[in-house]
Amino acid sequence: MRVLQICAAYKPAFIYGGPTMSVSMLSEQLSKAGVYTEVYATTANGKTELNVAPNKPLDVDGVTVTYFKRITKDHSHFSPALLGKLWKEANTFDVIHIHAWWNLVSLFSCLIGLVRNVPVVVSPRGTLSPYSFQNKNIGTKWLIHHLLGKPMLKRSIIHVTSKRESDAIAAIVTPKRIINLPNFVKLPAEVPVACPTPDIFKLLFFSRVEEKKGLDILINALPFLTFPYRLTIAGDGNVNYVNEMKALATKNAVDGNVIWAGFQSDNKFKLLREHQLLILPSHDENFGNVIIESLSQGTAVLVSPFVGLCGYVIEKKLGWQCELNAAAVSNMINFIHGQQEALNNIREKAPDIIHTDFDEVKLIKEYRDMYNTIING
């Protein structure tokens, strides 16, 4: 089996958040399991380019990755070199797996795969939902979708990571098939050491700082909390938007209770473990890697109904959900503050549940089965 993964951005371009990590984890696990896996990506790293040799296969943590220069420096990521290489090599692979949508690498790679008669899997990674059509470049997206995207997706298999994402996509397009498999999430092997309960309730927002993530709703909820707290905001984003959120915290007179920790990497799991509640009030989230990462450390979560893992969290009793407005968020945080027994129970049981449900050996078998099913028609 020969699998080609295509994504506009690949590690170490972690500026793009969860999707970059998920694709690299999948590729690495496939390679470890003996599945021949290559990655085509661009040199994209935000507004800059990765410091890598372009157009040459490189070994990146056991995976053969070729980075191609892009000629646009925005989210379109147009790379004629990548598309030219794909046109020549497409038929040497048994399946082409494309990650994310709306960028020119994904759209034209899908077209090439279909024209070359190679089975195509598309993982939208949160970019194909009703919210995505209402967010940015609305008119352009609808035009592309009806003229190019929809006809191609009908001939493709779509891989989703949650039932919520599956339902959202089914409302937009009817592909050949929708397959639901969760993300790989890199978790520490060691069992987390329980942290003592602090005197002040420690809240954590851990995500990219952008409009989609609902940070403004959380900041607007803070003035209505009825107990001593501290909110740590871990993540970065557009400077103007970050400054807008800081100004909102100042306006609400809560800036003294907020720590802006910036981007976190090696310190991530320690930071998660030291807090009592992770809050992710997203407007749209196909999965939510940080939910799994937080629970692996025993830290309970509060999510909006629009987070892909919301159903899992409620089913497993590992956290809470609330509606997406400041009043609902503040009311629920006030309620959770009084649920110390439940918080302690999650702290104790969640790590084992997560390591069982997201076991890498089990997941890689499911992904191999998916590819085999697709290849065999």
Complete DSSP assignment for 272-296: HHT-SEEEE--S-BSS-HHHHHHHH
Q: Which pair of structure tokens corresponds to residue 191?
A: 């069992």
In degrees to the nearest 10, what's the CA dihedral of 299, 304, 309, 315? 80
Nearest to 371 by CA among 27, 6, 95: 95
341 and 287 assigned to the same domain: yes
223 and 279 assigned to the same domain: yes
CA distances from 318 to 165, 205, 293, 311, 343 (A): 20, 17, 13, 10, 9
240 and 95 assigned to the same domain: no
Q: What is the pLDDT of residues 127-162, one digit of tens each?
A: 787 776 666 666 676 677 767 778 999 999 999 999
Range of the domain at 293: 201-357
pTM: 0.85
Burial readout 43-72 (b: 16 or more C-beta within 10 A, e: otherwise): bbbeeebbebebeeeeebeebebbbbebee
Q: What is the pLDDT of residues 292-321, one digit of tens each?
A: 999 999 999 999 999 999 999 999 999 999
Task: Map tokens 């993964």 to a residue.
Answer: 5
For the chain, where are the E strands, in sequence order?
Answer: 2-7, 36-42, 44-45, 48-49, 57-60, 63-68, 95-99, 120-123, 157-160, 177-180, 201-206, 229-234, 258-262, 277-280, 300-303, 319-321
Q: What is the mean pLDDT of the chain?
A: 91
222 and 299 assigned to the same domain: yes
- What gap in Å lies between CA 90 and CA 283, rounded to an integer? 36
Residue 266 lies in a domain: yes
**What share of the chain has pLDDT > 70, as a percent?**
95
- Residues whose CB is less than 8 angstroms from the CB of residue 202 and which lie 6 or more positions away in sequence, other chains included: 229, 230, 232, 274, 275, 276, 277
**What share of the chain has pLDDT > 90, as a percent?**
76
Under a CB-based contact definition with an 8 Å cutoff, are residues 300 and 319 in contact?
A: yes
3-state class (DSSP) for residue 74: coil
Which residues, in sequence order, are bridge partners of residue 262?
A: 234
Residue 42 sits in a domain whose CATH number is: 3.40.50.2000
353 and 212 assigned to the same domain: yes
Q: Which pair of structure tokens corresponds to residue 89?
A: 């090599």
270 and 207 assigned to the same domain: yes
Summarize the confidence of residues 230-255 as an average pLDDT: 96
Q: What is the pLDDT of residues 71-95, one digit of tens each?
A: 987 778 889 999 999 999 999 999 9
Residue 345 lies in a domain: yes
Structural domain count of the chain = 2
